[in-house]
């Protein structure tokens, strides 16, 4: 009996250690709430574009989602040129400061969007016709903003949408005065102002082979001149049928091969028909004639089950692709928090009811959210 006792004690100790380990594991699992940022913590940052109602904390339900689900934020509008630099000698930083403080308070990866973009530029810029003066203004603009947030804003969309769909340079206000030299100036000045920040070129439709090639040429040109560029932002304004995963993957691989990171910076998936799919009209066209046309706004009273399912599958497929290329991808940001305030309710046709994001109008996660989380839970 006495000889059996030590063996029995050893067995008890072993068993209770195992039980304790299991309990600790379970506790850790229980203590880590399910969220996008936790699910993809080992893969890439996951974030959302936020707007004034989150920054000034009036949309508390939206803000709760942002802090619970995401570890990176992007300002949807408040840091664009027309708001930050409305007159030649005037900068307005109040809202941008509040945005950055929100990110710091929540220990987030903070994105600055966007330093140089022909759209939403201030009116006074249209009067600048001299290239030397324009270069001085761009340098001053970039230096003032980037140095203010040095060490706080982690990543800058330095130049936005400089290319046409065929990969050539867009003949914007900036290009017309300076040619493509404005890109080099903007990136160089940003790197000087904050050498640690990640500097990104951001554009849409980068899955298109011609536009992809345009970006590759642009990055190679900057790199050949020794200009710092750290990433390519593939915006990711997609629809359910397109673009193909193959086209997106080809771009991820082409950009990664340049030695820069890839970010999906403005992800959303429209659930509504787009006018150009119906009549082949140009994306830039004015579509106000479609306003109120119910065929263009078919889910005004609620989401259709089959579209909802298709949206979930599309998001699942995209995130499976992102996981496959997680070594190349550093961030995935949704362009908005819930379907209630997405820009796609008003573009390309005003006043529609769209469903492009992971949270519905009642701030609840949609099936697509659960599909994405399940990708990690089942692995």
Using CB under 6 A, list all residues that contact ligand G3I.
Answer: 76-77, 119-120, 160, 204, 235, 266, 343
Cβ-in-10-Å burial (0-12, 13-18, 19+) of 322 comes to buried
Q: Report the residue number, 102 or 337, with the smaller CB distance to ligand G3I.
A: 337
List the one residue out of 353, 338, 342 whose CA is nearest residue 294: 353
| Minimal distance, residue 120 CB to ligand G3I, in Å | 5
Determine the Cα–Cα distance for residues 86 and 60; give it in Å rounded to an integer.
29
Give the residue nearest to ligand G3I (CB).
343
| Minimal distance, residue 324 CB to ligand G3I, in Å | 25
| Minimal distance, residue 83 CB to ligand G3I, in Å | 8
Q: Report the residue number, 91 or 343, with the smaller CB distance to ligand G3I.
A: 343
Q: Of residues 76, 95, 266, 371, which has the active-site annotation? A: 266
Q: Report the residue number, 235 or 297, with the smaller CB distance to ligand G3I.
A: 235
Catalytic site residue 266? yes
| Minimal distance, residue 24 CB to ligand G3I, in Å | 44
Q: Report the residue number, 51 or 71, with the smaller CB distance to ligand G3I.
A: 51
User: From residue 369, how far is each of 42, 336, 373 by CA, in Å?
Assistant: 18, 14, 6
Determine the Cα–Cα distance for residues 172 and 214; give it in Å rounded to an integer.
16
> Residue 297 — φ and ψ, nearest 5°?
-135, 60
Cβ-in-10-Å burial (0-12, 13-18, 19+) of 369 comes to buried
| Minimal distance, residue 73 CB to ligand G3I, in Å | 14
Q: Report the residue number, 189 or 268, with the smaller CB distance to ligand G3I.
A: 268
Active site (catalytic) residues:
266
């Amino acid at each position: 009996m006495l000889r059996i006792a030590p063996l029995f004690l050893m067995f008890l100790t072993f068993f209770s250690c195992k039980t304790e380990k299991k309990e600790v594991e379970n506790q850790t699992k229980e203590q880590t709430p399910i969220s996008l940022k936790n699910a993809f913590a080992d893969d890439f940052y996951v974030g959302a574009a936020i707007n004034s109602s989150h920054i000034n904390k009036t949309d508390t339900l939206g803000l709760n989602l942002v802090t619970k689900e995401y570890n990176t934020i992007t300002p949807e509008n408040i840091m664009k040129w027309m708001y930050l630099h409305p007159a030649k000698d005037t900068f307005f930083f109040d809202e941008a400061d509040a945005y950055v403080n929100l990110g710091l308070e929540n220990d987030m990866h903070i994105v600055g969007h966007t330093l140089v973009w022909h759209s939403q530029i201030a009116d006074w810029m249209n009067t600048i016709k001299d290239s030397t003066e324009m270069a001085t203004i761009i340098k001053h603009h970039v230096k003032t903003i980037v140095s203010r947030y040095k060490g706080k804003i982690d990543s800058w969309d330095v130049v936005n949408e400089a290319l046409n769909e065929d990969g050539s340079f867009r003949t914007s206000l900036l290009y017309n005065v300076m040619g493509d030299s404005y890109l080099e100036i903007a990136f160089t000045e940003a790197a000087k102002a904050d050498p640690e920040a990640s500097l990104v070129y951001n554009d849409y439709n980068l899955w298109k082979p011609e536009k992809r090639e345009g970006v590759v040429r642009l990055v190679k040109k900057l790199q050949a001149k020794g200009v710092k560029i750290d990433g390519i932002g593939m915006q990711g304004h997609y629809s359910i049928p397109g673009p193909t995963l193959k086209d997106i993957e080809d771009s991820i691989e082409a950009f990664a091969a340049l030695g820069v990171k890839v970010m999906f910076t403005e992800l959303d998936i429209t659930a509504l028909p787009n006018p150009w799919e119906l009549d082949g009209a140009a994306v830039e066209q004015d579509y106000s004639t479609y306003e109120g046309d119910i065929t263009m706004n078919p889910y005004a009273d609620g989401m259709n089950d089959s579209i909802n399912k298709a949206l979930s599958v599309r998001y699942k497929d995209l995130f499976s692709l992102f996981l496959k290329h997680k070594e190349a991808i550093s961030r995935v940001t949704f362009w908005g928090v819930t379907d209630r305030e997405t820009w796609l309710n008003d573009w390309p046709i005003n006043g529609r009811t769209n469903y492009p994001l992971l949270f519905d109008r009642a701030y609840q996660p949609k099936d697509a959210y659960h599909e994405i989380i399940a990708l990690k839970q089942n692995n």
